[in-house]
Amino acid sequence: MKNILVCTLGASWAVIPEVLAFVDPDFLPLYAKHPQRERLLALVREQGLRAPDEVWVVTTEGEKTVNSLNSLAKWWGLLGDVRPLRVWQAAGTNELAGEDECRRIRELTLRVVLKAQELAGNSGQVLLSLAGGRKTMSADLQWAGTVFGCDGLLHVVDNGDFPPQLFRPTAAFMIKDLPEEVLAPADLARNLPERIMSCVSVVMPLFVGRGYRSDLLDVDWQGRGPVTGARFSLPQASEINAGNSEPNFTSCRWRAEAGAASLAAEINEREKEGQQLLGNYLAAVSQDERHENWRSLYRLAPRIIEHLRKTPLTEEHRDWFARLPKAELHCHLGGILDLAAQKRVGAAVWQALSEDEKKAALVRVAGLLQAKEWPWEWPALLKTGDRSANCAALLVNLSEEVLAEHLFAATRPRFALRTEHEHGFTAYERPGELTGSAILGHAAAIVQYAREVYDYVKRERLLYCELRGSPLKYLGGDGLRFLRLFYRALTCLIEEDSETLWRPVFGFIIISDRRDLEKGSEARLERAAKLVVQAGDNSELRNFVVGLDLAGKEESGDLREIASLLEPVFARCLPVTIHAGEGTAADKIWQAAYHLNADRIGHGLTLVDSPELAARFRNRNICLELCPTSNLEVVGFHDPRSESLGFSRKNIYPLKKLWEMGLPLTICTDNPGISKTTLSNEYLTASRLVGGLTLWDALAMIKQAFSHSFLPAEVREPLMKKADKIIFELVAGDFG
């Protein structure tokens, strides 16, 4: 990537030193004594102008031009600079007295600026000097800047009262700081006596503005593709040798090949057909994709859209992706906190206990506090007495390192646990045994738990987070009370948040556990359904509790039997999401869709095995909630990172295939604390598993999360507009 200064040149070669001294004052100190020197330096800083790595000159042929180039070459030799000075001359041009000559210099100018922009790339700069040559040359260069874009349009003006030393300067005069005044000898022909004249203050360099690349360059026109240097070639001009007071140089005499396409003509035609070209491009984009992206992104320049559509999301985009606003649709309250957060919640409960309660809890967990290795059945020991107090005793008295060993070590490697671990799915859940319902039985946990959730959501830039949990397992089964306390705690945090742009919105999905059927606890399933309805009738909770989830062991129960138990939810037309198709066949997904009226499916991985059902999902706009890391941990898929550790799987993660089938889907975390992940990391993991998820698709999947949230439309729609605006500004700023 290079910084290039492009200049036009006529009979006055000195305009090139005058512009170069403006943008590179440390190298060429012409303006060291200028009365507005500080203002000139500030202007360069304010506009972010960089010293050029190369200086390029576009000019004509003819005697005056040759003399000008000779002076320029001599000056360059005296400078002893190592940077290239390249010169292109339009063959067959001289005074630009006719249309043919003007056409030739215009074509050359456009090609030179196009070449400069391609060499500069995204991180370099192209500066254009409008000061040299005839007015038509300056106009051509300015047009090139508005078409191809430039980081600065520069000019040099004067007061018209030039001293002879500056009017026809020697090469030696233009390599050091210009004097404030000079002695001008008598000019009898002009009736001017000998006098003292201003010198450096006669000249004033200017920053005129910038040019922005035309979108029309990047779309197909008459089947010829975008405008590129490969289509409108230009040979590289050789460098003028520096370090020699009498350097030899060879300019590039350029003449368009017979029958070659004209860049100027194509730009004119593109501008004439501009609106139609852009319309055709956007129509082609929408035809090629099955998932509409954020509306504002279609306002981006085609080259940016193409970059997003072709660039895979990789680790190098982690920081960029983390800054984007996101939505989370599948995150279990009991699995969201990492160990540090769990310890803080445990401390809040511990502080609320009486001394007698603390002593009793310590006695009950004494064996676990002292044991180097916990037995597999240790969670059952916590249910004796006050379970929340027991959990708090462990969280407060054991370090993160020790807790991590007990909670995670017994289930490593965390890959394909359902089939590879002797305890199956239970092994996946093991790291969450001290959080969620285990600690939320005590009211003192709620405020701190809400704070930890809020902090996580803010760190992850989640504008919307749909938590899911089992309130009937908290606070002794008083689910409605828990929901009120938890919602009030979150509301206080939102109102206290001074960062208003990033204040998140929360939804809560009440979980009904299909394992209750195995236990003969159909009544609990019914209670969960009724709690969703109760919350919907509560004015405080109406927009917080947004739906019902059926979770738990997928093999448990017949969903047709469960349907009758969830009838109150169906009767009120409330949203439903169902865990299905993670480790079971697609028929469970079919049952969820047809018997339980699912609006979304948690995981739904095996849907890829049933094209007819997949088509039904697409037609009904039923969204899948994919959770890559937990899917790896529970099911196991081909993963280059896991394979390097010796965990091999041939089955390919189905995300890309489902996406290409047109199915609505988004990426979620499931249990970020249990899986030691974040939502940003889940997108990166998904991209790795499928061999490259493009930036464009990742942005569209974020949109899917917002659009398929269970929020009421009057809340969801303004939230999506807010996210759309932020995403456009971030993407345009980073890639534009």
Same domain, yes or no: 233 and 332: no
What DSSP line would sit under 588-643, residue for residue?
HHHHHHHHS--SEEEE-GGGGG-HHHHHHHHHHTPEEEE-HHHHHHHT----HHHH
pLDDT, tens only, 132-170: 888 899 999 999 999 999 999 999 998 778 888 888 899
Full domain range(s) for residue 519 = 326-337+447-730
Same domain, yes or no: 377 and 470: no
Lowest mean pLDDT among 214-218, 280-284, 607-611: 280-284
d(CA 205, CA 154): 7
**Other CB atoms within 10 A of residue 451 CB:** 18
Is 281 domain-assigned? no
Same domain, yes or no: 636 and 671: yes
Number of structural domains the chain divides into: 3
Strands (E), 130-175: 150-158
Same domain, yes or no: 236 and 375: no
pLDDT, tens only, 248-299: 566 889 998 877 899 999 999 998 888 788 888 888 887 778 899 999 999 8
Is 320 domain-assigned? no
Same domain, yes or no: 384 and 333: no
- The long-range contacts involving 39-45, CB below 8 angstroms and separated by at least 24 positions, are 40/205, 43/207
Same domain, yes or no: 332 and 268: no
At 95, the amino acid letter reads E
Residues 668-696, buried b or exposed e (16+ Cβ, 10 A)?
bbbbbbbbebbbbbbbbbbbbbbeebbbb
Is 321 domain-assigned? no
Same domain, yes or no: 407 and 479: no
Helix/strand/coil (H/E/C) assignment for every residue in 696-736:
HHHHHHHHHHHHCCCCCHHHHHHHHHHHHHHHHHHHHHHHC
Residue 523 DSSP SS3: helix
Is 310 domain-assigned? no
What DSSP line would sit under 357-369, residue for residue?
HHHHHHHHTHHHH
Same domain, yes or no: 413 and 558: no
Is 46 domain-assigned? yes
Residue 56 DSSP SS3: strand
Same domain, yes or no: 468 and 429: no
d(CA 617, CA 607): 9
Residue closest to 410 by CA, chosen among 398, 401, 399, 422:
422
Report the CATH number that the domain containing residue 614 is assigned in CATH: 3.20.20.140
pLDDT, tens only, 175-213: 999 999 888 887 666 677 788 888 999 999 999 999 988
Lowest mean pLDDT among 421-425, 514-518, 567-571, 649-653: 514-518
Residues 256-277, buried b or exposed e (16+ Cβ, 10 A)?
beeeeeebbebbeebeeeeeeb
pLDDT, tens only, 659-682: 999 999 999 999 999 999 999 999
pLDDT, tens only, 301-339: 888 999 999 999 999 999 999 999 999 999 999 999 999
Which of 364, 399, 434 is the last residue before a domain boundary?
A: 434
Which of 434, 464, 488 is the last residue before a domain boundary?
A: 434
pLDDT, tens only, 42-52: 999 999 999 99
Same domain, yes or no: 581 and 689: yes
Is 288 domain-assigned? no
Same domain, yes or no: 262 and 379: no
Q: What pLDDT sits at residue 220? A: 85
Same domain, yes or no: 389 and 330: no
Which of 434, 463, 479 is the last residue before a domain boundary?
A: 434
- Rg of the Cα trace of the chain? 35
d(CA 701, CA 197): 69
Is 312 domain-assigned? no
Residue 648 has pLDDT above 80, yes or no: no
